[in-house]
């Protein structure tokens, strides 16, 4: 083995540093590109892009696409595609809206505390059922996923119109709306509590992982590298919480909140929004999907099938039923994204979720999911969704026309795939 095969004392210090941290260089490149993107937009917008208000808005706008992008990772990893996610979102949102405004009030009084719960449960069931049906057509009937989901895009988008009779349905249930972002947040104190608990959980997982590797005789990172990673993670989590807490509730709105509770707003009092409930939903989805991908038999089967479908089937994996499961998960995540998207708007419109399928696929691909299958990460897809939304938001703030925005997004998508191909060629994948 040559001296350059492993980083050693003779190599550059930076290379040794990152090698010791054992971080994915592609992920580091994405994070670096995202930072540069944000700094550039901040310069062109005279410092408005990186304000707490815009970061808060950017965060809640990213959630619905990011939720679906985590499911798209599984779909693409198994060498399929789903073009219907935006239409499925629209259908589920329409069903939930009609349940809340027209059907359930006939049996329960308007504003009943169970209305929003029932509507979400029904919406989730419908989303999973639609996804499973798509998976059955692909897995058991042999119809290419591109055709099935292209048909689904048209059918379910038309279904939105039939369900709502072409009308906007709303306003939605008040409790339901809190799941969308601005209407429901943890507040400053509980956001800090969540941040501290999150830091503690990350550090505990690092310690547990280190002990597990050591007990099995696997190599572990140097202690200084573990401490450095813990420090970076702590700064990132608490910094994010600090930014969201810095976005203050407008004085007029805060005054109305106090008056509604029969109190008087103290002079000079300011209160931050904190972490939105929708972001908490995304965090839970990210954790669960990561655990499924890395720690469960289902996750191993998904990546094994994507890597080599024939070998996976010969090894005893029921790839047909696996396809149904993957698309059912995708449908369930579309339903969850419908909850967040419609709650953020407070209404269900006929164009809700329109073209989201393109944003979702782009987020997964930009995040490192290989279209050839077998490779993809949940955190990469979420970062890809954040990059996509940052580009859209930044260009809108700069004043870039919508057609030019679409051109830029298309160029970035193709460029991301090209970079991914070159990166894998260099690694020999």
User: How far is residue 195's CA from residue 74's CA, in Å, rounded to a whole number?
Assistant: 29
Q: Are 244 and 51 in contact (CB under 8 A)?
A: no
- Both 133 and 267 in one domain: the answer is no
Q: Rounded to whole angstroms, what are the CA distances from 205 to 19, 186, 237, 295, 390? A: 20, 24, 15, 14, 30
Q: Residue 272 — φ and ψ, nearest 5°?
A: -85, 155
364 CB contacts (<8 Å, ≥6 apart)? 69, 72, 73, 76, 376, 381, 384
User: How far is residue 282's CA from residue 276's CA, in Å, rounded to a whole number?
Assistant: 10
Q: Are 327 and 35 in contact (CB under 8 A)?
A: no
The residues of the chain scoring below 70 in pLDDT are 1-24, 427-429
Does 20 map to a domain?
A: no
- Both 303 and 158 in one domain: the answer is yes
User: How far is residue 32's CA from residue 55's CA, in Å, rounded to a whole number?
Assistant: 18
Q: Are 97 and 169 in contact (CB under 8 A)?
A: yes
- Both 77 and 175 in one domain: the answer is yes
Q: Which residue, 255, 275, 295, sits at the end of a domain?
A: 275
- Both 216 and 263 in one domain: the answer is yes
Q: Residue 232: which domain range?
A: 185-275
User: How far is residue 415's CA from residue 342's CA, in Å, rounded to a whole number?
Assistant: 32
- Both 155 and 293 in one domain: the answer is yes
- Both 172 and 196 in one domain: the answer is no
Q: Is 12 left (phi over 0), alpha (psi -120 to 50) or beta?
A: beta
- Both 271 and 281 in one domain: the answer is no
pTM above 0.95, yes or no: no
Q: Are 132 and 152 in contact (CB under 8 A)?
A: no
Does 14 map to a domain?
A: no
Q: What length is written for the chain?
A: 429
pLDDT given for residue 191 in this prediction: 94
Q: Can you name the residues that pair with 248 across neighbouring β-strands?
A: 272
- CA gyration radius, the chain: 23
Count of domains in the chain?
Answer: 2
Give Dmax over CA atoms of the chain in angstroms.
76
List the one residue out of 4, 414, 347, 53 whose CA is nearest residue 173.
347
- Both 216 and 148 in one domain: the answer is no
Q: Which residue, 275, 293, 320, sits at the end of a domain?
A: 275
Q: Are 118 and 106 in contact (CB under 8 A)?
A: no
Evaluate the CA torsion angle 342, 347, 348, 349 in order and state its sign: negative
Q: Tell me the three state secondary structure of residue 169.
A: strand
Tokens representing 175 are 């409790």
Does 34 map to a domain?
A: no
- Matching residue, tokens 């399928």: 357
Does 43 map to a domain?
A: no
Does 300 map to a domain?
A: yes
- pLDDT per position as a tens digit, 11-70: 455 556 666 666 667 777 788 888 988 999 999 998 899 999 999 999 999 999 999 999
pLDDT given for residue 181 in this prediction: 80
pLDDT given for residue 1 in this prediction: 38
Q: Which residue, 217, 250, 275, sits at the end of a domain?
A: 275
Does 106 map to a domain?
A: yes
- Both 290 and 356 in one domain: the answer is yes
Q: Are 342 and 348 in contact (CB under 8 A)?
A: yes
- Both 297 and 378 in one domain: the answer is yes
pLDDT given for residue 23 in this prediction: 67
Residue 99 DSSP code: I
pLDDT given for residue 7 in this prediction: 42
Does 39 map to a domain?
A: no
Does 155 map to a domain?
A: yes
- pLDDT per position as a tens digit, 364-386: 988 888 888 888 899 999 999 99
User: How far is residue 198's CA from residue 200's CA, in Å, rounded to a whole number?
Assistant: 5
- Both 252 and 282 in one domain: the answer is no
pLDDT given for residue 12 in this prediction: 54
- Both 211 and 339 in one domain: the answer is no
């Amino acid at each position: 083995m040559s001296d350059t095969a492993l980083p050693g004392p003779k190599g550059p210090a930076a290379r040794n540093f990152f090698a010791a941290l054992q971080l994915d260089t592609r992920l580091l490149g994405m994070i670096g590109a995202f930072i540069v993107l944000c700094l550039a937009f901040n310069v062109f917008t005279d410092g408005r892009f990186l304000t707490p208000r815009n970061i808060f808005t950017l965060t809640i706008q990213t959630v619905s696409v990011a939720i679906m992008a985590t499911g798209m990772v599984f779909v693409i990893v198994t060498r399929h595609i789903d073009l219907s996610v935006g239409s499925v979102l629209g259908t589920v949102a329409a069903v939930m809206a009609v349940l809340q405004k027209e059907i359930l009030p006939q049996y329960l009084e308007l504003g009943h505390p169970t209305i929003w719960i029932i509507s979400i449960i029904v919406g989730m069931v419908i989303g999973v059922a639609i996804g499973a049906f798509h998976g059955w057509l692909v897995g058991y009937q042999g119809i290419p996923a591109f055709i099935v989901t292209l048909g689904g895009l048209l059918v379910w988008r038309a279904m939105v119109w039939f369900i709502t009779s072409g009308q906007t349905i709303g306003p939605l249930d008040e409790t339901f709306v809190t799941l969308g972002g601005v209407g429901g947040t943890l507040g400053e104190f509980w956001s800090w509590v969540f941040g501290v608990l999150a830091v503690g959980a990350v550090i505990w997982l690092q310690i547990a992982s280190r002990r597990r590797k050591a007990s099995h005789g696997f190599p572990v990172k140097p202690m200084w590298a573990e401490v450095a990673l813990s420090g970076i993670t702590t700064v990132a989590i608490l910094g994010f919480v600090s930014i969201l807490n810095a976005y203050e509730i407008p004085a007029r709105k805060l005054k109305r909140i106090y008056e509604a509770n029969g109190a008087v707003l103290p002079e000079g009092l300011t209160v931050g929004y904190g972490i939105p409930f929708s972001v908490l939903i995304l965090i839970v989805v990210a954790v669960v999907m990561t655990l499924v991908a890395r720690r469960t038999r289902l996750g191993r089967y998904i990546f094994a099938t994507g890597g080599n479908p024939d070998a996976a089937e010969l090894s005893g994996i029921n790839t047909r039923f696996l396809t149904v499961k993957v698309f059912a998960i995708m449908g369930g995540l579309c339903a969850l994204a419908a909850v967040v998207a419609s709650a953020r708007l407070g209404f269900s419109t006929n164009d809700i979720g329109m073209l989201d399928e393109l944003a979702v696929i782009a987020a997964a691909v930009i995040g490192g999911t290989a279209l050839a299958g077998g490779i993809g990460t949940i955190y990469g897809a979420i970062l890809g969704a954040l990059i996509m939304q940052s580009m859209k938001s930044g260009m809108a703030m700069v004043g870039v026309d919508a057609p030019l925005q679409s051109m830029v997004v298309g160029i970035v998508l193709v460029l991301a795939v090209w970079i991914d191909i070159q990166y894998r060629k260099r690694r020999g994948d």
